[in-house]
Every structure is written in structure tokens, then in C-alpha cells.
Amino acid sequence: MAAIDALLALIEAQKATGIVLRAREPPVLIGAQGRGLTMPPLDAEMLETFAAEALAPGELERLHASGACDAVYRSERHGAFAVEARRDADKLSLKLLRTGAVLAKPALPAPASPRLADARVPAFDAGAMASPTSVPATAASSRLAGLIARTVDGTVSDIMVSAGQPLWIRTVNGLAASGETIDQQEIAGFVDALLDPPRRRCLDGSGSVDLAWEAPAVDAEGSQRLRVNVFRQARGLALALRPVNRRARTLAELNLPDSVGALGDLAGGMVLVVGTAGSGKSTTLGAIVELVNRTRARHVITLEDPIEFVYQPRRCLIHQREVGTHVESFATGLRAALRECPDIILVGEMRDRETVALALTAAETGHLVLSTLHSGSAPMAIDRIVDIFPEHQQAQIRLQVSGSLRAVVTQRLVEGVLAATRYPAIEILVVNYAVGALIREGKTHQLATQIQTGRDDGMVALDASLLDLVRAGRISREVAVATARDPVELQRRVRG
């Protein structure tokens, strides 16, 4: 009997769905409250033995070459198990799940493909995509999982789950409750199956955790990916879920101008997409990356929390890294990316001082850095970047921003004339010599004037974008005026 079969017997004895094996840690059962077994930690040599038993020779070679391998191990005594083997540096981990326990997965890619954290991966295999934290069957088959999956359609932008409440669903028409009441026990069971031990520790320590989840398929289009935030609140656990498009959209599908896509052709520097939460910032960045993927040979590294769109490399080599799974933080991933020869670095969000500083350094050293920021306008975004730093550093940061920033795209989603439609109204600030001088001098309040007068340089004012949408019959005059920076002037222009 293979040595690994002795561990598989524990899965049956504990009525678990799988087991996680890591060097210098005791094995951890999945689906049995995630508890560690009362046995000594595994040493690296024993883990290598388990890997050699669970993987075929060719699969072992793929693990050594790419840092990841997904396979199936068939035990004569215990049946078939899905195997997820991951190697980060010298650290090996194995996860074995009963094949019936992989009906739905949180979409945290760690495949045998270029989306791994290892730039050595030679090829992309869409069929090999899997997650290092697959969700046991209890989450996939639960009433709540099915309810969420059936709720998602093209009109739903957010789903909220809270104890003692039905699902709350946000669409273009607003927020409304729908369906039967969900109790805390059902939410807790769903979350238990959704979280692996590291994410459980994060939830216990900080009160919330982010991940992506692939809901079970309910139609011919297949499974649906959702970005999930699990958080604790006064009445227990709650979830906020946002459906993610099954693929990166094109600029035309998003009703965005070609000038936005052209930002992906810049040789270096920083491009920011800013806006409020839910304004489509990540979707716009995804469209830019997908356009580059189809038209240019580039090495792209994405740092995301969690990974949303899964890109299939076409002309680009694309590595997708997830915070908490492949890298510790955005800053850690950025620091590593500077040694991984990328042409383009996508940073999901610039949240802290260290991430901003490293992103500016990457932009200054010839990389194209694409990122998002929660902000209502380009001047506010620039001020926010500068204000992250202590006062004695701000003059230097303004100098760095003026030299490395190439453009800021501000985006707002506005309600369309037709029911359940929304259109992006955009504002584009292009950093030319005059704009750079204003940034260096701290005169960001004058940037609005530069946007108004900089049409020849590719700048677009928000009110001009709204006016174009009105003239195209896509949004109403009332919506445009309510969204405008200068409602009186826009109203005059609309009437004219």
C-alpha cells in the first residue's frame, strides 16, 4: 500500500472531503471543520514521497518545471482523488479532494499555466485551470450556493447575503430583496466550505476576507465567477458577492473609445483608471489588457485581490498572481515583478504607501503600470497619491508623479434610456508638459482647465462625454445634467 493511502484513510474515518499537506505542518482535513490532525508535522522528504506516489512521472516533471500540477490519483482502497500540487520556491504543498468534492471552486487560479506566480511557466492550458483552495461539495451543493448561482444574470451587479434576510440584489434599478429568508447556520456552513485554513485565519483575525468563487453551473453558459467578501457583523456572518464577466470584454462592448485602448500601447509610465466603487474600473483595465493580448507580443504580470478575469494568452505571455495566494501583498508582488522582466504590470488597486511607491518606481524604470484608485476625478486621485506620504516626502512624490504618470481615466456608469442599461461617461487627463508642471507645483485644482482645453492632446472632459451620450440617444438629458461637473453649462449645451 502506498504511504499516502494511510492519510487518505483518515479522510474516510473523519468523514472529510479532502486533506491538505504542507511541509513542517500537520495535515489539515477539509470539510471536517478544518482541524489539524494530532500527528507530527510533515517533513519535506515525506511530502516529496507523497508527491511521487500521487503524481505520474510526467506530472512530476510539470510540477518541477512550472510550479503547479493538477492530476487525479486513484487509490485501490479509497477511490479517486483530485490532486492539486503547488511548489513556490522550495515549498511544496499537496491538496487531495474526493472527485465528488470539486463541483465548485473559488476561482483563485494556480494552474499549470502562465497564470502562476512563477514566470518560468512555458504554456497555458485552459483545461488545467484549477484552484489551490477548491470548495468542497457542501458549498457546491448547498441551497445557498444554488440560490446565488440562479440569481446571477446580466442585470445583477451585486448580491448581499445576511442572516435573517432574503438575498438583497442590486441592479440598475436599485437594491431590492428577493426570495426566502436565509439563516445564520446556512451561511456559516457555506462559508466553512468556501474558506481554506489561511483564509479562515484571515477572517478570524481581521473580520473579513476576499476571494473569488466559481458558482455551480445552472445554464448552458457554464459556471459563473463571483468576487466574494466574507465579513463579520452584529448578527453573524455576511457576504457581498459581485459577478465577474466570464471573459474580458472588448472596448466596443463597453462603449469605450479607442483612445482608452491606445493607453495600453504606451512604452512605459503609469495609467490610472479611477472612479467610485462599482463604476467598472477593473472591467476597463481588463479590456485594455485583452486588447494588448490580441495585438501585441508583451509579457504581462497582473497582481489582483482576488483574480477576476482569467486571460487566455494569445499574443501575450500573461502571469496572474493573487494576493494571499501567490504573493503576500500588492507591494510584495510589485517588488518581485521588477525582477520578472514584465512589459506591463497590472496592479488591481493601489491601497497603501508602499504599493504606490513601488508602482511609481516600476513606472519610472520603463514598465507600463496599469492600476485603479477610488476617486471621483483625476485631480482628486493625484492628491490622494501625494497625501499618502508624509509631508516632508510630498514634494519628491509630486516630482515622481509628474514624470511617470501618463494618463488618468475617470469613469462613471450612468443609467441609459433603455431599461437595465448603463453607459460609461469618461474623462481623460493626458499628462503633457503643462499638466506635469501643475502636478509638480501642487496646483491640481487647475487641471480641470487643462482637460477642457486639451482636446488636441487626447483629453476628454466628463461633460463632453455626457453630451455625446445624450446626442447618441443613449442617456436622457436629466441623467446627464445630474451627473455633470457643470450642470448649468451642460444644460445650455444640450438645449443648443
pLDDT tens digit sequence for 17-36? 788 888 777 788 776 544 44
We find that the CATH architecture of domain 3-101 is: 2-Layer Sandwich (3.30)
Mean pLDDT on 375-379: 94
The three grid cell numbers given for residue 31, joined into one nine-digit string: 470539510
- CA 188: distance to chain centroid? 24
Average pLDDT, the chain: 83
Pick the CATH number of 142-244 from 1.20.1260.10, 3.30.450.90, 3.30.1130.10, 3.90.76.10: 3.30.450.90
Structural domain spans, the chain: 3-101, 142-244, 258-460
pLDDT at 441 (0 to 100): 95
**Higher-pLDDT residue of 1, 360:** 360
Q: Which of 94-98, 269-273, 315-319, 468-472 has the lowest mean pLDDT?
A: 94-98
Query: What per-residue confidence (pLDDT) applies to 220?
Result: 58
At 367 the pLDDT is 95
Supply the pLDDT for residue 356.
94
By DSSP bridging, strand 208-215 and strand 224-233 are antiparallel
Cell of 73: 490519483
What single letter denotes the amino acid at residue 47? L
Q: What is the secondary structure of 159-223 as a DSSP string?
A: EEEETTEEEEEEETTEEEEEEEEE-HHHHHHHHHHH--HHHHHHHHHHSEEEEEEEEPP-STT--
CATH code for the part of the protein at 258-460: 3.40.50.300
Q: How far apart are CA 114 and CA 317, in angstroms?
A: 7
Helix (H) or strand (E) holding 295: helix 281-295
| pLDDT for the residue 310 | 85
With a pLDDT cut of 90, the percent of the chain lying above it is 45
Residues 6+ apart with CB under 8 A from 409: 260, 263, 271, 272, 273, 274, 284, 426, 427, 428
Q: Are 272 and 380 in contact (CB under 8 A)?
A: no
More confident residue, 216 or 456: 456
Please name which of 337, 388, 390 lies closest in space to residue 365, comparing C-alpha atoms.
337
Please give the average per-residue pLDDT across 316-334, as a whole number.
Answer: 90
User: Would you say the CATH fold of 142-244 matches that of 3-101?
Assistant: yes
- Alpha-helical (H) ranges within 338-458 are 353-364, 378-387, 394-404, 433-440, 447-453
CA-based max dimension of the chain: 84
The set of cell numbers assigned to 351 is 491601497
Higher per-residue pLDDT: 378 or 14? 378
Across residues 303-330, what is the average pLDDT?
88
Give the mean pLDDT of 193-207: 87
Mean pLDDT of 331-342: 92
User: In this structure, what C-alpha cell is assigned to residue 399?
Assistant: 516630482
Q: Write out pLDDT tens, residues 96-146.
A: 887 644 333 333 333 333 332 333 323 333 333 333 333 333 443 477 888
Report residue 34 CA to chain centroid gap. Answer: 25
Q: Tell me what pLDDT residue 69 has.
A: 83
Across the range 306-313, mean pLDDT stands at 85
Give the pTM: 0.67
Phi, psi for 396 (deg, rounded to 5): -65, -40
Q: Strand 28-30 relative to strand 208-215: parallel, antiparallel, unpaired?
A: unpaired
pLDDT higher than threshold 90 for residue 239: yes
Q: What are phi and psi of 204, to 5 degrees?
A: -65, -35
- In this prediction, residue 57 carries a pLDDT of 84
The pLDDT tens digits of the residues spanning 477-493 come to 999 999 999 999 999 98
pLDDT of 234 over the 90 cut: no
pLDDT reported for residue 174 = 82
Distance CA 319, CA 330 (A): 14
- Is residue 373 within 8 Å of residue 272, measured between CB atoms? yes
